[in-house]
Amino acid sequence: MGERLDIILFGVTGFTGKHALGYVHKFTSDKGRHLTWGVAGRNEVKIRTILTNLEKETGDTSISQVPIILADLSDLQSIQNMSQRARLIINCCGPYRFMGESVVKACVEAGTHHVDVSGEPSYMEKIQLDYNEKAKEKGIYIVSACGLDSIPADLGVIFLQKEFKGTLNSVETYLKVDSEDNSLSGPTVNYGTWESAVYGLAYENELRPLRAKLFPKRLPRLEPRLTTHKLPFKAPVYNDWAVVFPGSDRSVMLRTQRFLYEEKQQRPIQIQTYFLIETFWKIIFLAIFGLIFSIMTKFQFGRNLLLKYPSLFSFGFFDIEEPSEEKIQKSWFSVTLLGKGWKEKLAGPEDQYKNPPNKGIIAEVKGKNPGYGATCICLVLAGIVILTEPTKLPKAGGVFPPGACFADTTLIEQLNDNGVTFKLVKEFDIGE
């Protein structure tokens, strides 16, 4: 079969894959790297068209020589063949609940690393339950949630922990997605995020029994407890209203905190995630929409409608069609992280403080084009770091959330260099 390629981008003709392609081309040869790569999908004509377009955009004539691997999720042998051709698969074929496991299984059997942009907690946690030990045996790394869900939030907490210089007790995250010009038509966030939300909510009842198997031991109950704001409230950032964020960020971050507690004896941080909304009337509207959305996800007919008409049901925030290039370039996101804890450190991760937290910290993770730019930058760099920094990854391999996998790597620094910035905003004392 010959020597393996370093990377295969699977699903190159899809929404995420098309935008990830340019970053694979750039980052595999960036900073003195000489990583080999290929692309995979089921339609060779479409793949060649996309490669030709990239060649025209970049002027790089070597793109015409990029290996093309035909792989179709309905043909498991082709997926196995693809997995045997690379050291790492960047998997852009969702929804992962239905299409992800066969690729992971093939990667584990082939001893091939795997990254994706899944935002479905039940899928990610099932993969960890079923494949963690098998991945360890092969010494490979399987990492989901490597896009906007959930690298900014998960690595944002890692960044906050390193900057805090004390003991961090709790973190609240505030996600804001906006555009520099709201008059531009088209969606702000990509369709895959909408798809993940539909399936994530539809199958949330699977999580409790799944977590009982995956995490039989409860984390220590540390004080003071972080209060969840169940009703809308004025956020301490951007002067916006905040509501609980129903996405996958919190579940991903808590898996990272569990790993750090169990493997590195670090105090597990309490976490809550919120989404920022500019006006209160939008919150009322969102509450009505959320109720309808929640009910519709429970029925196959409702899910089909949500997936077929995302623009109608999200009022243009999501769509199957891509936004204009101008809309893409003017959209942006930020994740503001508000942490509280103590200046002092105690000996053990379960030790209790007698006094309330006396120190606060605020950091921000920010980037442009959340659906197509930042997501793909995070995804591709995550894969490259697995290949180029093996000694900085958790020992032995396994199935990980991004924070657990990349905490000791240079991924944050590389994201900073490529437009997804991690910034310490301020530290402050909390009054006695």
Q: What is the pLDDT of residues 28-86, one digit of tens each?
A: 999 899 999 999 999 999 999 999 999 999 999 999 999 999 999 999 999 999 999 99
Whether residues 40 and 166 share a domain: the answer is no
| Cα(174)–Cα(334) distance, integer angstroms | 8
The CATH number of residue 134's host domain is 3.40.50.720
Whether residues 180 and 281 share a domain: the answer is yes
Q: What is the pLDDT of residue 188?
A: 62
Q: What is the pLDDT of residue 148?
A: 93
Whether residues 252 and 117 share a domain: the answer is no
Kindly report, residue by residue over 390-429, the tens digit of the pLDDT.
Answer: 999 999 999 999 999 999 999 999 999 999 999 999 999 9
CB 122 within 8 A of CB 150: no
Whether residues 124 and 158 share a domain: the answer is no
Whether residues 191 and 84 share a domain: the answer is no
Whether residues 138 and 156 share a domain: the answer is no
Among residues 143, 160, 191, the one where a domain terminates is 143
**Beta strands 270-277; 113-116: pairing state:** unpaired
Name residue 367's beta-bridge partners.
333
The CATH number of residue 197's host domain is 3.30.360
| Cα(397)–Cα(51) distance, integer angstroms | 33
In a domain, 216, yes or no: yes
Whether residues 310 and 347 share a domain: the answer is yes
In a domain, 251, yes or no: yes
| Cα(100)–Cα(77) distance, integer angstroms | 15
Whether residues 169 and 300 share a domain: the answer is yes
In a domain, 86, yes or no: yes
Distance linking the first and last C-alpha atoms of the chain = 67
DSSP code, position 150? B
In a domain, 122, yes or no: yes
In a domain, 396, yes or no: no
Q: Using alpha carbons only, give the angle 432, 234, 423 rounded to the nearest 5 degrees.
A: 70
> Residue 390 to residues 37, 204, 313, 428: CA-CA distances in angstroms?
19, 34, 44, 37
The predicted model scores a pTM of 0.94
Q: What is the pLDDT of residue 348?
A: 86
**How many domains does the chain divide into?**
2
Among residues 88, 121, 143, the one where a domain terminates is 143
Please choose, from the candidates 172, 176, 152, the residue with its C-alpha nearest in 3D space to the C-alpha of residue 238: 176
In a domain, 390, yes or no: no
Name residue 342's beta-bridge partners.
167
Whether residues 14 and 125 share a domain: the answer is yes
CB 276 within 8 A of CB 235: yes
Q: What is the pLDDT of residue 314?
A: 79
Whether residues 247 and 342 share a domain: the answer is yes
| Cα(21)–Cα(193) distance, integer angstroms | 19
Q: What is the pLDDT of residue 380?
A: 99
| Cα(82)–Cα(106) distance, integer angstroms | 9
pLDDT per residue, tens digit, the chain (432 aa), is: 569 999 999 999 998 999 999 999 999 999 899 999 999 999 999 999 999 999 999 999 999 999 999 999 999 999 999 999 999 999 999 889 999 999 999 999 999 999 999 989 999 999 999 999 999 999 999 999 999 989 999 999 999 999 999 999 999 999 999 888 766 566 666 777 788 789 888 888 889 999 999 999 999 999 999 999 999 999 998 889 999 998 899 999 999 999 999 999 999 999 999 999 989 988 898 888 888 999 999 999 999 999 999 888 877 777 787 777 787 788 899 999 999 999 998 888 888 898 999 999 999 999 999 888 999 999 999 999 999 999 999 999 999 999 999 999 999 999 999 999 999 999 999 975
Cβ neighbors of 77 (< 8 A, separation 6 or more) are: none
Q: What is the pLDDT of residue 155?
A: 99
In a domain, 407, yes or no: no
Q: Which amino acid is at 241?
A: W
Whether residues 139 and 159 share a domain: the answer is no
In a domain, 201, yes or no: yes
Q: Which domain holds residue 80?
A: 5-143
Among residues 123, 143, 163, the one where a domain terminates is 143
Whether residues 204 and 133 share a domain: the answer is no
Please choose, from the candidates 244, 272, 247, the residue with its C-alpha nearest in 3D space to the C-alpha of residue 173: 272
